Structure 1
């Protein structure tokens, strides 16, 4: 009997040890919906159709990058399940797709939903549901408001930063210029104009004319003619790719030769400048924070070579002259970095915590000197850019990296 008793005690202690080690492992692993030992489910909303459909390649390049990560073994052993839906750049459709991703697909987060109108429509929903709306594909300043919207964060330089950077350049080089502004009638356009005005400060009176347009407008000719007739010698186009291409073409057809500034989101040679006519795009100035693979300066750059190899293998039908394919690649790299930092704590709360803990993060396709920095009160990952000018064939960088910091949200 004593022997049996001892055996019983021994078995009990082994069982306790097994239970303890299992619970210790479970304590280290934390999952919210969309995460498990096997996968991480990421949602995405893109305009694969509609007036901003040229941005759809961003979703395709992101899907391709996640395929690469999965082929390399995933993130901490987990495969990414990337679910991307079309909203046709329509806010009601965006709401429908966000609900589907959160409530039916049960994703861990929604990554890179595109467009200011669509993201404005889903922002409250995402924050009520406490699901990350992460690295929003829009430069609206409102994505950097952790106090009121702790589940929403942008990534790219915000539009006000971009406007301030142009203002610095204009005040230095064209202090007596007369400015005409063409902008998209939504939060994005208003943000950009505000950044320019704030950057000009006491000289905001240099803006002598402005006209807005709707993304769905078939033609913007009347607005461009009116701005031409204002007598301005500096012209700003803050429009989606289609509107920007139309503006470049119309300015060229009018024989108008202002100092032309173009929104960073519409600098794709393939999607904007070629359709507009490269002869009309010559000398346009814009900003960059990513390397342009069409720029001969990067011909032998190791980062560009890696990106080209990625495109060849994982997105062979993608256009290497389309800057949006670089943008999608870099955004996906940042998302992977956040997930790596999460380790085995794949809760929505930790995803946001890690996204707000990026320190001097950079990738091989970001310009030298551009760094991603975030904090609990700083949801503006990138606030630096460099100016560039189109020479008729490719964009050429000039000057130093300029900081356009707008200050953190109150």
Structure 2
């Protein structure tokens, strides 16, 4: 065979070589399967947030029934960390070292995600679209493998502080917040939003621990300060507690709560709708029961999906929407990765989102990232609870 003919044959073979020759896999990926993981507070003090995990499981079960992603089934391992940082470390190591997942995504909680952040970055395992807005998770220079999904807690705090300055003539403010990274970030942002007036306007500052059985004493002290504005920053269980405590004292300040304590099902219903009426918070996703979205395609699709896949769940629980949104974005990244299912490529795609339209995000809000700015969602809507549902106040805003 001549050299010319041989070269021609090799060229033909190169063109005809199966696509598998170009496939690249890291641990957790194969021709038939992609393994991913998450830890969730299915039990423990913030078990109400476990709905994020239930939605995540249901999302990928639905996707698998419809063929998976690029011909591969998605094997999601969702483990119960009980909102315990040591447990989160143990289970995350299991996911990476024993189950050999390609990535982790959507895990709930500031302290639990913080406990595994250094480990995952040292291992160069993507920690994607985690359900926290704490500032430590928006630092691509120090932790390039960590991408937080929720709007910055500090940015939200700033926006609500500006709302107070715009709506209250002579504010006297009491702050009650959870004594961890979550509560401190919200409080820090709120103070920053007040600017130079913070010291003179804040008349009471109380903290509580996630192991506390009540926050009654903090709310009593806040009322005794003479405040006409109450800002609360904490998780769901304590969100419901403090609303009940404030109402039962007969205290009627302008009442603001952080977005993590704005769930109708997990916070406002346990507190009592009558007690929660008038509360102010923020949102980045559509309320599926807001009449404004009655004919919205995304909202109808979401409610149909919930009914078909989580019939036991309450569609008013915002945790389901958080899991749905995080899962959609993770599926998008894996779909875009094609046959290059390496951790480097997954991270590259996740940090180059270009105004991605995500189901259930409010109009004007898209998912956007760059290699130097991992703020996936950085705009939100101020809202007021009318005793039945949330109603929007003003336009979509940024806290930056």
TM-score by length of 2: 0.96
1:70 aligns to 2:50 (yes or no): no
Q: Which residue of 2 aligns with 1:54?
A: 48
| 1:249-285 deviation line (CA, Å, top 9, x unaligned) | 0000000000000110111111111111111100100
Taking the aligned partners of 2:367 and 2:242, their CA distance within structure 1 comes to 32
1:21 Cα deviation after fit:
5.3
Q: Which residue of 2 aligns with 1:3?
A: none
Taking the aligned partners of 1:55 and 1:283, their CA distance within structure 2 comes to 23
Superposition misfits of 4+ residues, deviation over 4 angstroms: 7-19, 21-24
For structure 2, the residue ranges without an aligned partner over 5 or more in a row are: none
Q: Which residue of 2 aligns with 1:89?
A: 83
Taking the aligned partners of 2:263 and 2:249, their CA distance within structure 1 comes to 23
The answer (yes or no) to whether the contact 2:179–2:208 under 8 Å persists in 1 is: yes
Q: Which residue of 2 aligns with 1:44?
A: 38
1:20 Cα deviation after fit:
3.8
Of residues 39-48 and 359-368 in structure 1, the stretch that sits farther from structure 2 once superposed is 359-368
| 1:346-377 deviation line (CA, Å, top 9, x unaligned) | 11111111011101112231101111110000
For structure 1, the residue ranges without an aligned partner over 5 or more in a row are: 1-6, 406-410
- Quick one: which of 238, 242, 249 aligns to 1:247? 242
| 1:17-63 deviation line (CA, Å, top 9, x unaligned) | 68745867345311100111111111010001000100111101111
- Quick one: which of 372, 376, 379 aligns to 1:381? 376
Report the RMSD for the aligned CA atoms in angstroms: 1.9
| 1:223-244 deviation line (CA, Å, top 9, x unaligned) | 1111110111000111110000
| 1:105-155 deviation line (CA, Å, top 9, x unaligned) | 000001112111111110110011110111111110111111110111101
Q: Which residue of 2 aligns with 1:4?
A: none
The answer (yes or no) to whether the contact 2:24–2:340 under 8 Å persists in 1 is: yes
The answer (yes or no) to whether the contact 2:383–2:391 under 8 Å persists in 1 is: yes
SS at match of 1:400: coil
1:318 Cα deviation after fit:
1.6
1:300 Cα deviation after fit:
2.4
1:363 aligns to 2:358 (yes or no): yes
Taking the aligned partners of 1:140 and 1:314, their CA distance within structure 2 comes to 31
Tell me the number of residue pairs that the alignment of Structure 1 and Structure 2 aligns.
Answer: 399
Q: Which residue of 1 aligns with 2:182?
A: 188
Alignment of 1:222-261 (within 5 A): 222-261=217-256
1:214 aligns to 2:183 (yes or no): no
- Quick one: which of 269, 276, 296 aligns to 1:274? 269
1:171 Cα deviation after fit:
1.7
Q: Which residue of 2 aligns with 1:100?
A: 94
SS at match of 2:140: coil
Q: Which residue of 2 aligns with 1:122?
A: 116
